[in-house]
Each structure stands twice: as C-alpha cells, then as structure tokens.
Amino acid sequence: MSVVARARQSARFCGAVKDAGISHSFPGEAGLKKGGRSAETNGSLSAPHKEMLLIDRLIDLSTRPVPLRALALRKILQKVPIGSYWARLRAAAVERPWYGWCLYHAAVEAKALGHRAMTAIEFGVAGGAGLLCLCRHRDQVERAIGIEILVHGFDTGTGLPNSEDPRDLLYVWPPGSFEMNIQTLKERIRGKAELTLGDIAQTVPAWRGRRDAPIGAIMFDLDLYTSTRDALAILTSASTLPRVWCYFDDISGYPVNAYSDFTGVREAIRQFNLDPRRDIRQQHLSRAYTFGGMAPENWHASCYIYHRLQHPDYNRRLSKERHQLILS
C-alpha cells in the first residue's frame, strides 16, 4: 500500500476511533495519526491498530490510568446519556471530551459577558468526523447554556499541503494526506456548519465572521507547524472573546511522531507567544489549568487558553458571586 493510501486509511480509522470516544488516550496508538497504526503491536508501522490481538487489547485496557469501570461507564453514558451534559463532560463520558470542554467553557464565558451568539472553529476538517462531533456538542451546549453557537470549519479540501519546512514533521505527514470528499461532507453539514475551503494562509486573513458572534473556541487539527502558525493569526485578526478556549490535537503523540518543543504545533504556539509585534504579557496562549478535581488525562495538556488582556471585557467579572472564606 502506498504511503498516501496508508495515510488515507489511517484518516478513516482515526475518525472511527475518535467517534468511539476512545481517541487520544489510547496507549497502543501510534503511527501517522492517532489510532492510525500501532508500532507497538509488532514493531511495524504498517500494522493497523484494529488488528491488535485480543490479549494485547486486554492488557492495554486493564492497565490504563483510568480504571476499567470508569471506561465502561463512559461508554454506557455515551449510549444512554442520563444526567446533565456538564456532569457527563466532567466524567469525560462524551465523544471527544476535549471538544466539549473548550466549547462549554467558551459558551459560559460568552453568556456571562452578555453575548447572544459565539463562533466555534475547527481548523483541519479532513473527512468531517471532528466537525460533525463539534456540531453535536454545539447542540448540547446551546441547550445547557442558552446561547447560539455558529460552527465553522477550515480545510484545503485536498489534504495536507506540500511543505519543505522540517518543522512540519515531513517524516510523518505525506502531502495530500486526509483528502476530503467535499460533496459528501457538504451534504452532511448542510444547515449545521459552514466550511471554508482553501489554504489557511489565504482563507484566514480574508475570513469575516458574523459580527455579533465573537470566536470563543477553536479546535486546531492541522498537523503542520506552518499551517498552525497561519491559523493562529485568526486570534489577532478576528473578533474574539477576551479568552478563547483552544484545543491543539498535535501537542503530543506516539513514538513515530517524535514531537518536540521546537517543531510542529508546539513550535507554532511558541512562535505566536514570542512574536515581537505583541507583548506576551498582553496576549498569549497558555496551557489551560482548568481541571481541578479531575483525574489527569492526556487531553488536558492539549487544552490552551488564548488571553487578550487588553480586550475591553477582559476584566469584567463573569459572576456576581462574592468569594468568602468563613471561619467555622
């Protein structure tokens, strides 16, 4: 199988694994993309993860940091969604909890600041599994918070662009990977989300969102340093909430990805923060330290918040509640 064909198969499988709600924290995952192939099953990059032996799956499942009963309960709650959306989100009993986490907290912020609408973006849409997942979260968050959320996706439509920049991890990502079926996707998202096709280097500067719906949440899944760098420009060119909840899919991965602090998505974030046109104390991306009371999971490290301290609403209190520490 050619490398491109493998990447395509990997992309399809990536969607399936993510939809099953087990992406990101799957220890056996490795290869071109999460869930794509397991280098650990037989030492080969070409062994699809789904061909993992039953015994290996059992070892994998029973030795995860999250107890098996919690994993099982999450699965059940996804099928039978009882309780509030918030409770299921905190329990990570929803598909792609990282999408829900960013969206929910952005909506809380937007609502508290008096907005009737906000925008959520996915950069890197590929087959569309992520965009549709974001739409499903949107439906639940809209109901829970009482705010309109516009969903917008950006992609070339033709897969990963060519690059010669070694910071793009050329040893992992063949150009053309993750090509989309534009017609099918457009039909699936009709009435639910907007899609902008083209290279982000051109589409982001030209993009104008709805004036009354500032950007509150962004899911970055572009794989490449250069593409993520170009996408980050939206934080300073478009109307945003004072804090924007961001998820970066490619912050960490498996051995074959060999991610570093100075390549890929981490380098794009680092460069954004070091840009001499801005003062890092006034505008920056920081890890989101927002998981108090929750058991640590891999995806927490992929959640960031963009802070724009000079935003006119930055200091507006989100709640009227006073904090008290009463001596009992």
Ligand X SMILES: C[S@@+](CC[C@H](N)C(=O)[O-])C[C@H]1O[C@@H](n2cnc3c(N)ncnc32)[C@H](O)[C@@H]1O
- Residue-by-residue DSSP string for 21-64: T--SS-TT-BSSSTTTB-HHHHS-TTSBGGG--HHHHHHHHHTS
Q: Check residue 218 for interaction with ligand X (CB under 6 A).
A: no
Q: Check residue 125 for interaction with ligand X (CB under 6 A).
A: yes
Kindly tell me which of 156 and 283 has the beta carbon lying closer to ligand X. Answer: 156
Among 227, 240, 257, 283, binds ligand X (CB under 6 A): 227
Task: Give the separation between CA 283 and CA 237, rounded to whole angstroms.
Answer: 13
Q: Check residue 95 for interaction with ligand X (CB under 6 A).
A: no
* Cβ at position 123, least distance to ligand X in Å: 7
Q: Identify which of 315, 302, 304, 249 has the alpha carbon closest to the alpha carbon of residue 105.
A: 304
Q: How many residues does the chain have?
A: 328
In the chain, the amino acid numbered 83 is G
Q: Check residue 156 for interaction with ligand X (CB under 6 A).
A: yes
Q: Are strands 148-155 and 117-123 parallel, antiparallel or unpaired?
A: parallel
Task: Give the separation between CA 3 and CA 171, rounded to whole angstroms.
Answer: 11
Q: Check residue 100 for interaction with ligand X (CB under 6 A).
A: no
Q: Output the six-digit token pair for 235.
A: 């934080």
* Cβ at position 46, least distance to ligand X in Å: 19
* Cβ at position 54, least distance to ligand X in Å: 27
Q: Identify which of 36, 31, 2 has the alpha carbon closest to the alpha carbon of residue 16.
A: 36
Q: Check residue 169 for interaction with ligand X (CB under 6 A).
A: no
Q: Check residue 126 for interaction with ligand X (CB under 6 A).
A: yes
* Cβ at position 156, least distance to ligand X in Å: 4
Among 221, 248, 283, 302, binds ligand X (CB under 6 A): 221
Q: Which of residues 18-57 bind ligand X (CB under 6 A)?
A: 18, 33
Q: Check residue 178 for interaction with ligand X (CB under 6 A).
A: yes
Kindly tell me which of 40 and 230 has the beta carbon lying closer to ligand X. Answer: 230
Q: Check residue 200 for interaction with ligand X (CB under 6 A).
A: yes
Contact between 74 and 87 (Cβ < 8 Å): no
Task: State the number of binding residues for ligand X (CB under 6 A).
Answer: 24
Task: Give the separation between CA 256 and CA 247, rounded to whole angstroms.
Answer: 22
31, 109, 199, 212, 225 from 203: Cα distances, Å: 30, 27, 6, 20, 17
Kindly tell me which of 89 and 200 has the beta carbon lying closer to ligand X. Answer: 200
Q: Check residue 253 for interaction with ligand X (CB under 6 A).
A: no
**Segment interacting with ligand X (CB under 6 A) among 187-195, 217-225, 235-243, 315-323:** 217-225
Q: Output the six-digit token pair for 251.
A: 């912050």
Binding site for ligand X (CB under 6 A): 15, 18, 33, 122, 124-127, 129-130, 154-156, 159-161, 178, 199-200, 221-224, 227
